[in-house]
Amino acid sequence: MERGVLGSRSCGKTTSTSFAGSTKHVQNLHGNVKSLQLAATGSSRLANTSPVLKKQWNLSARSSSADVVTTFDDAKVVSSSAVEEKIGVLLLNLGGPETLDDVQPFLFNLFADPDIIRLPRLFRFLQRPLAKLISTFRAPKSKEGYASIGGGSPLRKITDEQANALKTALEKKNLHANIYVGMRYWYPFTEEAIDQIKKDKITKLVVLPLYPQYSISTSGSSIRVLQNIVKEDSYFAGLPISIIESWYQRDGYVKSMADLIEKELAAFSNPEEVMIFFSAHGVPLTYVEDAGDPYRDQMEDCIALIMGELRSRGVLNRHTLAYQSRVGPVQWLKPYTDEVLVELGQKGVKSLLAVPVSFVSEHIETLEEIDMEYKELALESGIENWGRVPALGCTSSFISDLADAVVEALPTASALVTRKADSADSDMDLMHYLTKMFFGSILAFILLLSPRLISAFRNTML
């Protein structure tokens, strides 16, 4: 049934001519990417920039292995009159394991990302060992989930189809562009797409994360990869780039979501009695409260816009929002999807329409977590009629709106330049490195000699 939902949103034949290659080099990926934040000077070139990203791009961060700090400079824009313009669009997405053997290394890449597991600076050298530990323990359960949806994630296939649909939509708007797909945690990695962009000699680039709402852990993480590349590569330091950071507020997206919801409501015998249940991917609460992640605010704003559109059409159903996919012992955004489903059943809700609002493609969290786990829980809790809105996929109105967003973003593209960091930065880097190595080694020693601590950690993560 779940794959039937996916098939209903088929995007057509996929070609690979516009996409980066996929030579496998798995677990050393994050070790080769240095951490850097950019110092902004002049006007921003991030469309719809959140306070978090503005803060991130305005910080001068230091790296023990870096000699440069990167800054924006609006004066250095490639002139279309001097160089024949060659437009590129980079679609950013999460990525997913394509086979069961890919699951553990995919999870390693996920948890090795410091934007996913945010360790204190002192202990960041433990990031990769910790990722290895967590991915090893979680792989068996995750493999069961992927096995239940056919043995792998369909995310790459769907994203390629969306890329081809976007290329066609742009051509209808008289814009010829090369479309690239860059995945954060699996093939084709963002770094591979970046290499292809350079080989194709793109002269202006629009970066479009396929996440409607901005979060540190999604769009923010992928943008950080771009920051590192810009810092190290003179080609990208001079390339005009425009980043569409979030786009949940666009009319095309809002109306496309309302269209899908309205269509699925019509399938119920009593549509007016159906509770519309928005389920969004969760993030740890500390991301929002301590790091200033705008994700929760944007999500709530997104739901209000969608429900406003529905009400303008006469759809007056009740609705609620909850967050799914929490991992580990820390507190995540509430309310939790599983708990709310039980509560709704206890309150006598009989008909429910699940809406995966963080996702524009079918993947493990829609096909397995929502369609199987949450559906079963809902029915056990007393909900009798269950429905689920499919992901947007290649819905024509949605793709057309993404094309409009790309066209609108092009005039804001501006180039980047780099400047040397001063010697004080390098001295401070060395002190930070020695300090964290000293205290981190003590922590590692304690952990290695404490089987009970390791056992407790394993129990919290499984």
Mean of the pLDDT values across residues 110-137?
Answer: 90
Q: Is the dihedral of CA 56, 62, 66, 68 positive or negative?
A: positive
Mean of the pLDDT values across residues 374-403?
Answer: 98
pLDDT recorded at residue 84: 76
| CA pair distance 88, 205, nearest whole angstrom | 5
Mean of the pLDDT values across residues 244-258?
Answer: 98
Q: What domains can you pick out in the chain, each with its CATH number?
A: 87-248+396-415 (3.40.50.1400), 251-388 (3.40.50.1400)
Q: Over the stretch 288-337, which tens digit does the pLDDT of each residue have?
A: 999 999 999 999 999 999 999 999 999 999 999 999 998 877 899 999 99
Q: Band of the pLDDT at 124, cuts 50, 70, 90?
A: confident
Q: Is 355 left (phi over 0), alpha (psi -120 to 50) or beta?
A: beta
pLDDT recorded at residue 282: 96
% of the chain beyond a pLDDT of 90? 65
Q: What are phi and psi of 149, to 5 degrees?
A: -110, 20
**Do residues 30 and 113 lie in contact, with contact meaning Cβ atoms separated by under 8 Å?**
yes
Residue 258: both structure tokens together: 């309302």
pLDDT recorded at residue 416: 58
pTM (2 d.p.): 0.77
Burial of 300 (0-12, 13-18, 19+ CB in 10 A): middle
pLDDT recorded at residue 188: 97
pLDDT recorded at residue 11: 64
pLDDT recorded at residue 7: 37
Local structure of residue 4 (DSSP, 8 states): H
* Residue linked to tokens 């963080």: 358
pLDDT recorded at residue 432: 52
Q: Band of the pLDDT at 406, cuts 50, 70, 90?
A: very high
pLDDT above 90 for 89: yes
Q: Over the stretch 348-372, which tens digit does the pLDDT of each residue have?
A: 999 999 999 999 999 999 999 999 9
| CA pair distance 406, 205, nearest whole angstrom | 10
Q: Band of the pLDDT at 429, cuts 50, 70, 90?
A: low
pLDDT above 50 for 223: yes
**Do residues 18 and 167 lie in contact, with contact meaning Cβ atoms separated by under 8 Å?**
yes
3-state secondary structure 19-53: CCCCCCCCCCCHHHCCCCCCECCCCCCEECCCHHH
Short-list 322, 242, 330, 250, CA closest to 290: 330
Burial of 155-183, coded b for 16+ CB within 10 Å and e otherwise, reads bbbbbbbbbbbbbebbeeeeeebbbbbbb
pLDDT above 90 for 154: yes
Short-list 198, 244, 213, CA closest to 412: 244
Average pLDDT of the chain, as a whole number: 80
pLDDT above 80 for 277: yes
